Structure 1
């Protein structure tokens, strides 16, 4: 029996989420605009809400669980198949920052009607391109539309990322630590570095992390480093030595030992699992 491949792109008008829908959402990359009501969920062990006028992005197979959907919840959802999105990410140096940001801050405020319309039009154009299967250059056109879609999302991300970066000094110490991780986790993997940036001791930083998240500062650092390593290893244009340099390891052997400690595999073996 030949299995029918799942659609690479799907559009939904969502007002409730049953078990089957939740399984579908977890299988795809999810782009959701909330028109009214709210959706409560747990994401990476943290309770979050996507409410009216907000945009939500989940990577496929992210660790999230639905808590509650309000009775007046209405949303427009675009689903993109896991490999199709990843395979068409434009080769931009800061794309890893964009992806990592979404893994930590999945909910985004939409501040204007124009921005809302731009996002929904972006959904529509990708769906229309996907449905135009008789196009003479269908695959090429669809891939280009996917890349344009990502660039538009990155544009929205970049504005928010800048706002978060500029507000670094206004949050609590714990919030500032998480934001510092966003900026420096590619190359800084020692608790002492972040404690120095916050003008506190490593012991106190660990205490703050434990009371806010029940995780140590080292846990947070290694978690972010894992995300970076996975994203870099998925980029087959980079060899292992180049990734080690990108993350400021003194040698490829040190990088290999670090990866083996985190994943139980060498970078080469772990990359093979990702492909």
Structure 2
């Protein structure tokens, strides 16, 4: 069962999302709920396991591999486009000033065990979205689906709040505010996540946002607990991984597309951050996909 409408895809079959051994989740954020059984998977080479009552969350431009599933596996999967996800984050930003800490926690901990209440809630959201996606006569269904996705995102952030160490989320995290700092970090995160982003320096982003590099770095540290350079490097490595594993562009073409000064520098950068030379990484990615 696969249903698609506007910026949303819903299915109960993981093969419809990751048809090969290892697939790039490009352009969508994925939420997979395990109703029954066990599944072993990897995100960018790091292995995880999820079982009954677990929710798997994966952000866009990550390599996801499905390595084992029990015969009795039953799941529900919701995939939202990056555009819908960006709209959802915009709404969450007004409710939760520390959404980035929570989102970053999800990236580092993609398996969240749901309480019985949250279990029922996720299934209710899934069924509600399915119903509206099938309602061809409803003129407002796109708006309703977007609002439902926003509500689900807030519920997930609420659940994540209870799992995070206390020192990661200040006591006033639920106080609504829309400060200049929040908006600035949101703009930085949006620029960073764009597929056509090729900037690799804090200076370049600071100029786009019309602030000093020092100020931007301070905002990133305060909002995410990580430096601006760390976040920029992570985004660059995601792009490199994508072009090497999912396109037939030559190493020289990728280096040019990502605006590296030359192929030699690109190869050294890739070796440093992926642990392998570009062609070696591409070769291993191909083998994993075909096996």
Match of 1:222 in 2: none
Higher relative contact order (CA 8 A, sep 6+): 2
Deviation of 1:67 (Å): 1.7
Deviation of 1:96 (Å): 0.9
Matched, 1:147 2:117: no
Match of 1:78 in 2: 78
8 Å Cα contact 2:6/2:142 also seen in 1? no
Deviation of 1:73 (Å): 1.5
Q: 1:261 to 1:125 in 2, by over 3 A?
A: closer
Secondary structure at the aligned position of 1:72 is classed as: coil
8 Å Cα contact 2:30/2:79 also seen in 1? yes
State how 1:80-229 maps to structure 2 within 5 Å: 80-89=80-89, 90=91, 91=93, 92-112=96-116, 114-161=117-164, 165-166=165-166
Q: What is the TM-score of this pair, normalised by structure 1?
A: 0.56
Structure 1: any 5+ residue segments left out of the alignment? 167-179, 184-226, 250-254, 265-272
Secondary structure at the aligned position of 1:135 is classed as: coil
Match of 2:35 in 1: 35
Match of 2:209 in 1: 239
Greater CA deviation, 99-108 or 140-149? 140-149
Q: What is the TM-score of this pair, normalised by structure 2?
A: 0.53
Deviation of 1:142 (Å): 3.3
8 Å Cα contact 2:114/2:159 also seen in 1? no
Cα distance per residue 1:14-47 (max 9 Å; x no partner)? 2767863778882432111112221111223322
Match of 1:50 in 2: 50
Structure 1 distance, partners of 2:22, 2:42, is 15
Match of 1:13 in 2: 12
Structure 2: any 5+ residue segments left out of the alignment? 170-184, 195-207, 237-257, 259-291
Cα distance per residue 1:205-262 (max 9 Å; x no partner)? xxxxxxxxxxxxxxxxxxxxxx9996264699x935264441369xxxxx99888888
Q: 1:86 to 1:23 in 2, by over 3 A?
A: farther
